[in-house]
Amino acid sequence: MFIIESYTSAVIFCVITMICWGSWANTQKLAAGTWRFELFYWDYVAGILIIATLMGLTFGSSGDQGRPFLEDISQASLESVGHAMLGGIIFNAANILLVTAIAVAGMSVAFPVGIGIALVWGVIVNYMDNPVGNSSLLFTGVALIVAAIILNAYAYRRNTGRAKGMSVRGLLFSVAAGILMGFFYKYVAASMFADFTVPQAGKLSPYSAVFFFAAGVFLSNFLFNSIIMKKSVEGSPVYYRQYFAGTFRNHLMGMLGGAIWCIGMSCNILASGQAGPAISYGLGQGATVIAAIWGIAVWKEFRNAPKGTSLILNAMLICYMTGLGILIAAR
């Protein structure tokens, strides 16, 4: 199987993760005019599973290192499979809670609370399990990235002028999403053998781990997404028949979104072998600011922003880039 053999390559793969995780939502934005998020999400999780399978059958089955994808799956223990699938279930629950929080409390509350908690808590959890890197530099970098996320949220609130109030329910959704999002990576990492060049009996390769993670996301969606379709916090209930009435473009956008996210996840898991789970996860979760850059440069969301917003956005980018540099130096 293909693996990463240097820290420099791991950093490059983490940057790819940031770009992917910060860009997939553009596909939802392109489909949002006529397509509810609940319907988009079915294709999104299908795209994740398809790409995870293709990655395993191609990159996971080539080369002379590690263990080929199908052979790896056939020898996997129930414990390892369970860990990877549990990671997928937790991620899916967290992602749907975050979307619900955005609907209830607005993006300017949900993102700094949810993603901020996910970033800090996820780095702590993964560092405790596998303490790779200088802890002082690691958490300094994390703090700067969290500051960038908060500045982005403040700029967004100033720009819209119609941000929703911080309801208790929305805040609780955001906190729950952040805590769960910080946990999912730990279980995926626990399912894999530590040294990707030396397979362990019963443990999973990074490709098999991502495949079972994706299976957990896909299967759990029949429960989680069905609930939010019936109990939608914003708008009328959504019905399954509406999904089958969607256009080819609607379905394509959803699958493309899932494919982009899963490519990022695969790169991040591969990078964790050299960077360590804490640094790899921390760099990946800087994706929120990548999403902000899309909003600034492509969608022109801040074109008519109040005076002074550009200073906030510049401060955000400085915090973000400095935080990334410190995170990279932590290894």
Question: How crowded is residue 130: how many other Cβ atoms within 10 Å of its Cβ?
Answer: 16
> What is the separation of C-alpha 111 from the centre of its chain, rounded to a whole number of angstroms?
13
- The contacts of residue 174 (CB under 8 Å, 6+ apart) are 98, 101, 105, 109, 110, 113, 114, 117
Q: What is the pLDDT of residues 176-199, one digit of tens each?
A: 999 999 999 999 999 999 999 999
Question: Burial code of 50-71, b = ≥16 C-beta within 10 A, e = fewer?
Answer: bbbbebbeebbbeeeebbbbee
Question: In this model, does residue 165 exceed pLDDT 60?
Answer: no
Q: How many helices (H) and strands (E) does the chain have?
A: 15, 0
E runs forming strands in the chain? none
Please give the model's pTM, rounded to 2 decimal places: 0.91
Q: Which range has the worst mean pLDDT, 218-222, 231-235, 266-270?
A: 231-235
pLDDT at 299: 79
Contact 327, 282 (CB under 8 A): yes
Q: What is the pLDDT of residues 151-160, one digit of tens each?
A: 888 888 787 6
Q: What is the pLDDT of residues 23-64, one digit of tens each?
A: 888 898 888 777 998 999 999 999 999 999 999 999 999 988
Tell me the C-alpha distance between 330 and 7, whole Å. Answer: 11
CA dist list (Å): 288 to 24, 114, 249, 301, 325 = 11, 11, 26, 15, 16
Tell me the C-alpha distance between 123 and 47, whole Å. Answer: 27
Q: What is the pLDDT of residues 280-301, one digit of tens each?
A: 999 998 888 888 888 888 878 7
pLDDT at 167: 65
Tell me the C-alpha distance between 306 and 284, whole Å. Answer: 31
The per-residue pLDDT of the chain, averaged, comes to: 90
Q: What is the pLDDT of residues 228-252, one digit of tens each?
A: 999 887 789 999 999 999 999 999 9
Q: Which range has the worst mean pLDDT, 71-85, 167-181, 183-197, 309-323?
A: 167-181
Q: What is the pLDDT of residues 108-141, one digit of tens each?
A: 667 777 888 898 999 999 999 999 999 999 999 9
Q: Which range has the worst mean pLDDT, 6-15, 223-232, 270-279, 283-292?
A: 283-292
Q: Work out the percent of the chain whose per-residue pLDDT is above 90.
A: 67
End-to-end Cα distance, the chain? 25
Contact 214, 88 (CB under 8 A): yes
Cα atoms in the Cβ-side hemisphere of radius 13 Å centred on 81 = 9
